[in-house]
A and B are shown apart, each in its own frame.
Chain A
Amino acid sequence: MTTTTAAPLRLEGVSKHFGGVTAIQRFDLEVAPGEIVALVGDNGAGKSTLVKIISGLYQPSEGTIEINGEQVTFRDAADARAKGVEVVYQDLALVDLQPVYMNLFLGRELRRGPLRVLDRKEMARQTQQLVEDLDVRIPSARALLGDLSGGQRQGIAIARATHWASGLVLMDEPTAALGVAETAKVEEVILKLKSRGAAVLIVSHNLDQVFRIADRVTVLRRGTQVGTRPTAGTDKNEVIGMITGLSS
């Protein structure tokens, strides 16, 4: 690890305590450029907590985070975004009372002119383009987000993260609400990100999906990292055993 290109993400000894509860216990992981790592584990294992630590929403109780070889301390999500960390949150982080285009650009609104006023037209135009590229079928970029279906909402959250993605993309169960065709489309998008050289950390309960797209899989059980395997060197049974703690 001397002069090779720095990893988009490196976690070392990351722990998180909520009061007396330990949600994450000494977690280590490195994700290389163009690599897809799946994070799996049962409900409450700590997957979303880990995602939120990397995205700046939570601060780790212990341990270090490195982005592209640089140690970082994120005070909030804007800090992480500035370092090229894009996220699809499990709860999607959308605003129902705002139009679709504003949800895509929230926090980095496009502005124009010397007075730096919001460029709604351009945001709506780019959004239309984006959702068409991703095959997210929505009535219009100006539709109220609250009027969309669950799958459409998830599609918007994914479009938002992938549009700007260059370095690191975190996805917390991105296909949970999607149909078969939509899931395939999202997987295609994730593979495209990979070919662009982005690092992807994806949380999924769908092991078939994990084996379809991930290069490696790392397993959390009640906050403790049980192990990390290349998907080519393991199988579903072993991973299930690691998740549940029962050897099969």
Chain B
Amino acid sequence: MTTTAPARDADREAAPTGRAPRALRRPEVGAAVAALAVLVFFAVVAEQFLTPSGIGTWLNSASRFGIMAVAVAMLMIGGEFDLSAGAMTGATGLLVGVATTGYGLNVWVAVLVALVVAVAIGALNGFLVVRTGLPSFIVTLGTFFVLQGIDLALVKLVYGQVAVQGFSDVPYFDSVRPLFGGVIRVGGASISVSVLWFLAVTAVATLVLLRTRAGNWVFAVGGAQASARATGVPVARTKIGLFMTTAGAGWLVGMISLFQSSTVQSSTGVGDEFIYIICAVVGGCLLTGGYGSAVGAALGALIYGMTRQGVVYAGWDSNWLYAFLGVMLLAAVLVNNWVRQRAERLR
């Protein structure tokens, strides 16, 4: 084997030079650096930021966005978007809230029914996208409005108000709560169970993407759908699976917000779909698909969670958050664009 070394060295001279070391070419590197910078920044400007309760608060915030951002990142790597992802978190929570408080359904059953409904809607999203060949942007925009409309109309119909009432009084509420809305005391900090879910989802997504065949197909269908199809990759199955995963994550986050706050509004989650996409892009996902990482999206959500709380702790007007988000997004897109040009050079 060593005899081939000289030939390969010669080849290397002809290859593009000035490459960064492999580790620096991972999609999440930029987000990791940015996350560290944001952490240090708020640690300096806001005293509460690194206190145990401060950490618990921004971790909780990051986790609810992070679970979705990771799923949305996988979907984006697969070349698709899901604009119904935010509304899904509200819809699943409402479904459980209404079914239990309004119709007396057992809360365990309601939680499972909501999962089935969510995954079915995800499958429908995927099926429509795969079958029609329409951009998922449009298809899921439709789903988004349908969900939002149902959310608003349903809650109003049942309660005459915009939020679910009396959820914490339903039977067995206390037996489900630890699973989604529980709090674990670590030292002086209260860490939400959602943070564990966040870690687990990120870990599983990373393993699937990098270690399994299905994960490899996600990269392939997003990067070059026609090539993936020509090499026998089950394109339709992969994409539908991704939409189902995103919807399933929507259910998880829906349950987390429902059981954390014991209520849910008909507007819950609406507008968050763009936050998820921003987190994924900040984490290195290309909008054009085929490139990105779950860890990156998780870091993107961490940046978002830290900033959201950091701005409050620093005593600033919370609207600064949006300006910051915009800047982060632009910076991330510029970096990603550079990455893609690298990939498309020398064609």
Chain A interface residues (CB < 8 Å from chain B): 55, 57, 76-81, 87, 89, 91-98, 102, 106-109, 111, 115-118, 132, 137-140, 143-144, 146-150
B211 within 8 A of A: yes
Q: Of B11, B16, B232, B234, which is within 8 A of A108 by CB?
A: B232
**26 intermolecular pairs with C-beta atoms under 8 Å apart:** A55-B230, A76-B229, A77-B229, A78-B233, A78-B234, A81-B232, A93-B230, A94-B224, A94-B227, A95-B220, A95-B223, A96-B224, A97-B223, A97-B291, A107-B233, A111-B213, A115-B211, A116-B212, A118-B211, A118-B213, A139-B15, A143-B15, A146-B345, A147-B343, A147-B345, A150-B347
Chain A residues near B185 (CB-CB < 8 A): none
Given the known interface contacts A77-B232, A98-B223, the answer about A109 and B15 at a Cβ–Cβ threshold of 8 Å is no
A139 vs B67: C-alpha distance in the bound complex, in angstroms?
38
Chain A residues near B8 (CB-CB < 8 A): 139-140
Given the known interface contacts A95-B224, A107-B233, the answer about A117 and B11 at a Cβ–Cβ threshold of 8 Å is no
Q: Closest residue of chain A to B292, judged by CB? A: A97
Let me know if A76 and B216 touch, CB within 8 A.
Answer: no
Given the known interface contacts A78-B232, A91-B226, A96-B343, the answer about A147 and B16 at a Cβ–Cβ threshold of 8 Å is yes
A32 vs B262: C-alpha distance in the bound complex, in angstroms?
72
B12 within 8 A of A: yes
B219 within 8 A of A: yes
A140 vs B212: C-alpha distance in the bound complex, in angstroms?
23
Chain B interface residues (CB < 8 Å from chain A): 4, 7-8, 11-12, 14-16, 210-213, 216, 219-220, 223-224, 226-234, 290-291, 343-347
Let me know if B230 and A109 touch, CB within 8 A.
Answer: no
Chain A residues near B15 (CB-CB < 8 A): 139, 143, 147
Q: Of A57, A97, A115, A118, which is within 8 A of B229 by CB?
A: A57
Chain B residues near A92 (CB-CB < 8 A): 227
**Known contacts A77-B231, A96-B223; can you find 17 more A-B pairs with CB under 8 A?**
A55-B230, A78-B234, A81-B232, A91-B226, A93-B226, A93-B227, A93-B231, A95-B219, A95-B228, A97-B219, A97-B224, A97-B343, A106-B216, A108-B232, A116-B213, A139-B8, A146-B345
- Secondary structure at the B interface, as helix, strand, loop or mixed, is helix
A36 vs B12: C-alpha distance in the bound complex, in angstroms?
36
Given the known interface contacts A96-B343, A146-B343, the answer about A132 and B219 at a Cβ–Cβ threshold of 8 Å is no
Q: Closest residue of chain B to A146, judged by CB? A: B343
A196 vs B234: C-alpha distance in the bound complex, in angstroms?
31
Chain A residues near B226 (CB-CB < 8 A): 91, 93
Let me know if A146 and B347 touch, CB within 8 A.
Answer: yes
A81 vs B229: C-alpha distance in the bound complex, in angstroms?
12
Given the known interface contacts A137-B11, A149-B346, the answer about A97 and B290 at a Cβ–Cβ threshold of 8 Å is yes
Chain B residues near A132 (CB-CB < 8 A): 4
A118 vs B4: C-alpha distance in the bound complex, in angstroms?
26
A150 vs B346: C-alpha distance in the bound complex, in angstroms?
9
A149 vs B16: C-alpha distance in the bound complex, in angstroms?
11
Let me know if A106 and B228 touch, CB within 8 A.
Answer: yes
Let me know if A95 and B212 touch, CB within 8 A.
Answer: no
Let me know if B343 and A106 touch, CB within 8 A.
Answer: no
Let me know if B230 and A77 touch, CB within 8 A.
Answer: yes
Let me know if B212 and A118 touch, CB within 8 A.
Answer: yes
3 smallest beta-carbon distances between A and B, as pairs = A78-B232, A139-B15, A93-B230
Chain A residues near B231 (CB-CB < 8 A): 77, 93, 106-107
A41 vs B211: C-alpha distance in the bound complex, in angstroms?
44
Given the known interface contacts A95-B223, A139-B15, the answer about A147 and B346 at a Cβ–Cβ threshold of 8 Å is yes
A107 vs B234: C-alpha distance in the bound complex, in angstroms?
8
Which interface residue of A106, A144, A148 has the most chain B CB atoms within 10 A? A106
Chain B residues near A107 (CB-CB < 8 A): 228, 231-233
Chain A residues near B346 (CB-CB < 8 A): 146-149
A79 vs B15: C-alpha distance in the bound complex, in angstroms?
37
A102 vs B291: C-alpha distance in the bound complex, in angstroms?
14
Q: Of A80, A106, A108, A143, which is within 8 A of B220 by CB?
A: A106
A55 vs B210: C-alpha distance in the bound complex, in angstroms?
29
Chain B residues near A143 (CB-CB < 8 A): 15
Chain B residues near A116 (CB-CB < 8 A): 212-213
Q: How far is the CB of A247 from chain B (nearest CB, A)?
A: 38
Q: How far is the CB of A176 from chain B (nearest CB, A)?
A: 15
Chain B residues near A140 (CB-CB < 8 A): 8, 12
Q: Closest residue of chain A to B233, judged by CB? A: A107
A79 vs B210: C-alpha distance in the bound complex, in angstroms?
26
Q: How far is the CB of A93 from chain B (nearest CB, A)?
A: 4
Chain A residues near B227 (CB-CB < 8 A): 91-95, 106
